[in-house]
Amino acid sequence: MKKLGFGLMRLPLRDADDPTSICFEELEEMADGFLADGFTYFDTAYMYHNGASEKAVRKVLTERHERSEYTVASKLPTMLLKSKEDVPRIFSEQLERTGSGYFDYYLLHALDKNNYETALRLNCFDFVADLKRKGLVKKVGFSFHDSAEMLDKILTEHPEMEFVQLQINYLDWEDANVQSRLCYETARRHGKPVIVMEPVKGGRLAEVPAEIEAMYRSAHPDWSVASWAIRFAASLPGVFMVLSGMSNLRQMQDNTSFMKDFVPLTADEIRMTERAAAVLRGNVSIPCTACRYCTEGCPKHIAIPEYFSLYNKSKESKNGTKEYKDLIARGYGKASDCIGCRKCEKSCPQHLPITAYLKKVVGLFEGEK
C-alpha cells in the first residue's frame, strides 16, 4: 500500500461557512485520480465536516467503486461518548453513513488522559476487539494527543492495539507540548506501526517565510514547499501511512506526484527541515492546526481557527483587520464575545490556551490591550 492517505477532514466546499456543503464534483474527481494513481487509503471520522465526511465516503466511494478498490479508516469519537449505549449506536451509524460494510482500520479517536479514562469506563477496547472478531473491522488502533509518558501507559496496558496515529511534522518534532519525536520513539519501542496526521500542520508548512522557501527552492526547484513536510514524515522508519487533508485537486495532484514512487529524504535534506523549523519556531505566534475541534459547541459561534490564522498572518503583514470584520459580518462571534467557558480548550488536541490567545486577537483587531 502506497504511503499517502487521503484525509477527509478539509474537503472542498461550496460555502466556506458550511462544513457540510461539500463540493462532490471536485471531490469525485480527486478521489478517482487518487485511486487511478494507485493510492487506496481514505481516512474519515464521525465528527469531520459535522458528519458529512463519512457520508461523503458513501457518495464518492461506496456508490461508485468496488469495495476492494479502496481502504477506509474511521474513528470512535471518545470525546463525545456519555454512556455505554453510545458506543454501538455510533458505530452502527458510521456503517450506515459510509455504506462500507466494514472498516479496514478503526481507531479510538483522540486519546489523551481524559479520553482514555472514558474509553476504559465505557469498555471501548473490548468493544473494538469484538468488532474485529466479527469481521466488522480489520485492524484496531487509536489516534493520540498527549505526552509520550501517557502513550507508553496506553500501549503497555493495551498491547492488542495494532497501530498508532500520531501528529508528526518537522515543526512539532522537538515541540515540548506535542512531543512528536518522543511519541514516535515510544510507538517504535512498542513495535507499533505509525500513521502520521498533520504532516503539514494544518497548512502552516505549506506557506512559509520567504527565506525558507528560497532555501527549499535552491535545493529542489521543482518540489512544492508542502512536499518537504510530507516527505519528512514519510521518511521515518516504521511510518506506513501519511495522511494529507487535501482541499482541492491541485493539492491532491501535487501530493500524488511525489508519493507515487516515494524516495526518502537524504540526511542533508532532513537538516534543511531542521533549519526551517528553527526559523518557524521564531515566527509562529499561535500554533493552531485548524482542525476545528474547538468550534464544536462554541456558545458564541466564534471562528477560532480563522481568527488565529488571521492573527498569525497579520503579525507579519499588518493588514488583517478587514478580513476579521468580514468574518464577523458573516455571522461569527467576535473574539471579545468569548465567555471563558473553555469548551474549546477541552476539545483542542494541541492543548492550546485558546481563551488567552483570543485575548491577543482582541488586542490586535478590536483595539483593546
Q: Are residues 278 and 297 in the same domain?
A: no
Ordered alpha helix ranges (H), 37-179? 52-57, 86-98, 113-121, 124-133, 148-157
C-alpha cell at 240: 506506513
Q: Are residues 107 and 248 in the same domain?
A: yes
Give the residue from 282, 310, 334 where a domain finishes. 282
Whole-angstrom distance, CA of residue 280 vs CA of residue 97: 40
Q: Are residues 273 and 305 in the same domain?
A: no
Answer whether residue 205 is part of any domain. Answer: yes
C-alpha pair distances (Å), 295 with each of 175, 298, 344, 359: 24, 5, 7, 17
Q: Are residues 211 and 308 in the same domain?
A: no
Q: Is the dihedral of CA 79, 82, 87, 89 positive or negative?
A: negative
Q: Can you give the pLDDT at residue 313?
A: 77
Q: Are residues 255 and 351 in the same domain?
A: no
Q: Are residues 214 and 121 in the same domain?
A: yes
pLDDT in tens, 52-75: 999 999 999 999 999 999 999 999
Answer whether residue 288 is part of any domain. Answer: no
C-alpha cell at 108: 479510538
Q: Are residues 229 and 330 in the same domain?
A: no
Q: Are residues 232 and 337 in the same domain?
A: no
Q: Are residues 203 and 318 in the same domain?
A: no
Distance of CA 341 to the CA centre of its chain: 24
Q: Can you give the pLDDT at residue 316?
A: 53
Answer whether residue 81 is part of any domain. Answer: yes
Residue 333: what residue type?
Answer: G
Backbone torsions φ then ψ of 319, nearest 5 degrees:
-135, 35
Answer whether residue 170 is part of any domain. Answer: yes
Q: Can you give the pLDDT at residue 318?
A: 53
Answer whether residue 287 is part of any domain. Answer: no
Answer whether residue 193 is part of any domain. Answer: yes
Q: How many domains does the chain have?
A: 2
Q: Which residues form the domain of 297?
A: 293-365
For the chain, residues with pLDDT lower than 50 are 369
Whole-angstrom distance, CA of residue 9 vs CA of residue 352: 20
pLDDT in tens, 317-366: 556 788 888 888 888 999 999 999 999 988 888 888 999 889 988 988 88
C-alpha cell at 243: 495522511
Q: What is the CATH number of the domain that holds 242?
A: 3.20.20.100
Distance of CA 234 to the CA centre of its chain: 15
C-alpha cell at 44: 474519515
Answer whether residue 169 is part of any domain. Answer: yes
Q: Can you give the pLDDT at residue 369?
A: 41
Q: Can you give the pLDDT at residue 75?
A: 98
Q: Are residues 354 and 219 in the same domain?
A: no
- The angle formed by the CA atoms of residues 165, 170 and 176, to the nearest 5 degrees, is 80
Whole-angstrom distance, CA of residue 302 vs CA of residue 281: 26
Q: Are residues 110 and 251 in the same domain?
A: yes
7 by DSSP, 3-state: which? Answer: strand
Q: Can you give the pLDDT at residue 284?
A: 65
Give the residue from 234, 256, 282 where a domain finishes. 282
Contact predicate 55/97, CB 8 Å: yes
Answer whether residue 228 is part of any domain. Answer: yes
Give the residue from 262, 282, 302 where a domain finishes. 282
Q: Are residues 199 and 338 in the same domain?
A: no
**For all residues of the chain together, what is the average pLDDT?**
94
